[in-house]
Amino acid sequence: MPPLRVVILGAGFGGLELATMLSEAVGDEAAVTLIDKSDAFVFGYSKLDVMFGRTTLDQVRLSYRDLVKPGVRFLQETVTSIDPEARRVTTDVGVHEADVLVLALGADYDLDATPGLVEAGNEFYSVSGAERLAQLLPEFSHGRAIVGVCGAPFKCPPAPSEAALLLHDYLSVRGVRAACEISIVIPFATPVPPSPDTSAALVAAFAERGIEFIPGRRIASLDAGSSVARLDDGTELAFDLFLGVPKHRAPEVVIQSGLTEDGYVPVSSQTLETRFPGVYAVGDVATVGVPKAGVFAEGAARVVAASLIATLRGAEQPGGYGGRGSCYIEFGAGRIGRVDVDFLSGPKPTGTFREPSVALVDEKRDFGSSRRARWFGR
């Protein structure tokens, strides 16, 4: 039998985990093609480290050159069109036919959706945005900084809270905190809605540090001339530095494929399959009732991998997607907390909070290094 042709679009959290599991379990029995337009992977949370000068981009870039796995071929190509019915993908280099097609293309940023963001503000959600802020932050010594979210859903819901707390530490170390104000604007009523304990701990951490917390609001626009941010209820906030989370959207090529509904790709919450047979979507590009975060993309990829492995082995199909994951949250002062969330097994999402500690700093480091080793052999 010819090997099953699995084409995975996107080599982020979801694509890397799926390719790795397939390679480990079935090797050359599947011909896995993993396509990404970039030459390297960067963990989302590394952007915070780059922005605050705790590391450099070179240190956190994981080159796809190091991805050497039996049965997996990595291609650095840009996907330009997807035909889900024919399971055919066109890139800037050629055409790829698939027996199984998996979309793991993540979410893109729509900077133009927020007037003034490009001219007056900065975003810290892209690698280039984080690098730019690493240049700008040393110059910020007085005035008001706003960490502002421009729309939901957005990746890693705790990340804006982490940015505000780390900014407090950064300014304190530089001896300029007293001359600066920090405000955080998020569209949810609490920082981490499924976990009241996590939210309470974050709100308390803001209060202890004199960080102004503005919940239930999003940034509607920025005025470059007056350096004023306008919220969705019309409130105006003057700023000297704006650190934004841009509005997210599915990549244009996914929208053009006709696979999206309400912005993202609807999939079965059990199997991650789209309405097209043999076409799956995992991670940030999909709508499955979980937040946009790497741990959930990885968990979804594992479910697709387990199902494909069972099919190849002629074995019984495994259980469906559980929607569970743990997120580490930087509280500053060298401590990290953790929230274990469960989105799909009960009537409503739940979250259990682990207090910030030094032990969890090590645990988060292990989380990153285990993936680095597993995916890149480093």
Ligand X SMILES: Cc1cc2nc3c(=O)[nH]c(=O)nc-3n(C[C@H](O)[C@H](O)[C@H](O)COP(=O)(O)OP(=O)(O)OC[C@H]3O[C@@H](n4cnc5c(N)ncnc54)[C@H](O)[C@@H]3O)c2cc1C
Shortest gap between Cβ of 38 and ligand X (angstroms)?
Answer: 4
Local structure of 108: helix, strand or coil: strand
Per DSSP, what are the bridge partners of residue 147?
184, 243
Site stretch for ligand X (CB under 6 A), options 110-118, 272-280, 287-295, 347-355: 287-295
Give the nearer residue to ligand X in terms of CB position, either 30 or 133. 133
Closest CA to 306 of 288, 285, 320: 320
Shortest gap between Cβ of 331 and ligand X (angstroms)?
Answer: 13
Q: Which residue in 84, 129, 151, 294 binds ligand X (CB under 6 A)?
A: 294
Q: Which residue's CB atom is positioned nearest to ligand X?
A: 12
Phi first, then psi, for residue 344 (nearest 5°) are -120, -15
User: Interface mask (CB under 6 A) for ligand X, residues 108-127, using x and -?
Assistant: -----------------x--
DSSP symbol at 200: H
Burial degree of 86 (CB within 10 A; 0-12, 13-18, 19+): exposed
* 21 lines the binding site for ligand X (CB under 6 A): no
Distance CA 354, CA 331 (A): 12
Do the beta carbons of residue 211 and residue 162 sit within 8 Å?
no
Q: Which residue in 84, 96, 260, 284 binds ligand X (CB under 6 A)?
A: 284
Give the nearer residue to ligand X in terms of CB position, either 180 or 243. 243
> For residue 205, how many C-alpha atoms fall within 13 Å in the half-sphere facing its CB?
27
Binding footprint of ligand X, residue count (CB under 6 A): 35
Shortest gap between Cβ of 160 and ligand X (angstroms)?
Answer: 9
In the window 185-244, what residues touch ligand X (CB under 6 A)?
A: none
* 299 lines the binding site for ligand X (CB under 6 A): no
In the window 25-54, what residues touch ligand X (CB under 6 A)?
A: 35-38, 44-45, 47-48
* 89 lines the binding site for ligand X (CB under 6 A): no
Give the nearer residue to ligand X in terms of CB position, either 36 or 201. 36
Q: Which alpha helices (H) appear in 77-226, and where do they start and end?
A: 117-120, 127-136, 159-173, 196-208
Give the nearer residue to ligand X in terms of CB position, either 150 or 297. 297
Q: What are the structure tokens assigned to 157, written together?
A: 């819901």
Shortest gap between Cβ of 233 and ligand X (angstroms)?
Answer: 26
Distance CA 199, CA 180 (A): 24
Shortest gap between Cβ of 19 and ligand X (angstroms)?
Answer: 11
Give the nearer residue to ligand X in terms of CB position, either 227 or 327. 327
CA torsion, ordered 75, 79, 80, 82, to nearest 10 deg:
120
DSSP symbol at 285: G
DSSP symbol at 139: G
Shortest gap between Cβ of 301 and ligand X (angstroms)?
Answer: 7
Local structure of 131: helix, strand or coil: helix
Distance CA 186, CA 218 (A): 6
Distance CA 93, CA 313 (A): 33
Shortest gap between Cβ of 350 and ligand X (angstroms)?
Answer: 18
Q: Is 272 left (phi over 0), alpha (psi -120 to 50) or beta?
A: left
Distance CA 144, CA 327 (A): 29
Q: Which residue in 4, 19, 32, 79 binds ligand X (CB under 6 A)?
A: 79
Shortest gap between Cβ of 354 and ligand X (angstroms)?
Answer: 14
Site stretch for ligand X (CB under 6 A), options 81-89, 226-234, 260-268, 286-294: 286-294
What CA–CA distances, in Å, run from 374 to 126, 212, 270, 369? 24, 41, 25, 8
Site stretch for ligand X (CB under 6 A), options 94-102, 284-292, 314-322, 338-346: 284-292
* 251 lines the binding site for ligand X (CB under 6 A): yes
* 168 lines the binding site for ligand X (CB under 6 A): no
Sign of the dihedral defined by the CA atoms of residues 280, 286, 291, 297, in that order: positive
Site stretch for ligand X (CB under 6 A), options 9-17, 190-198, 302-310, 348-356: 9-17
Shortest gap between Cβ of 153 and ligand X (angstroms)?
Answer: 10
Which spans of this chain sit near ligand X (rule: CB under 6 A)?
Answer: 10-15, 35-38, 44-45, 47-48, 78-79, 104-106, 125, 155-156, 159, 251, 253, 283-285, 292-295, 297, 327-328
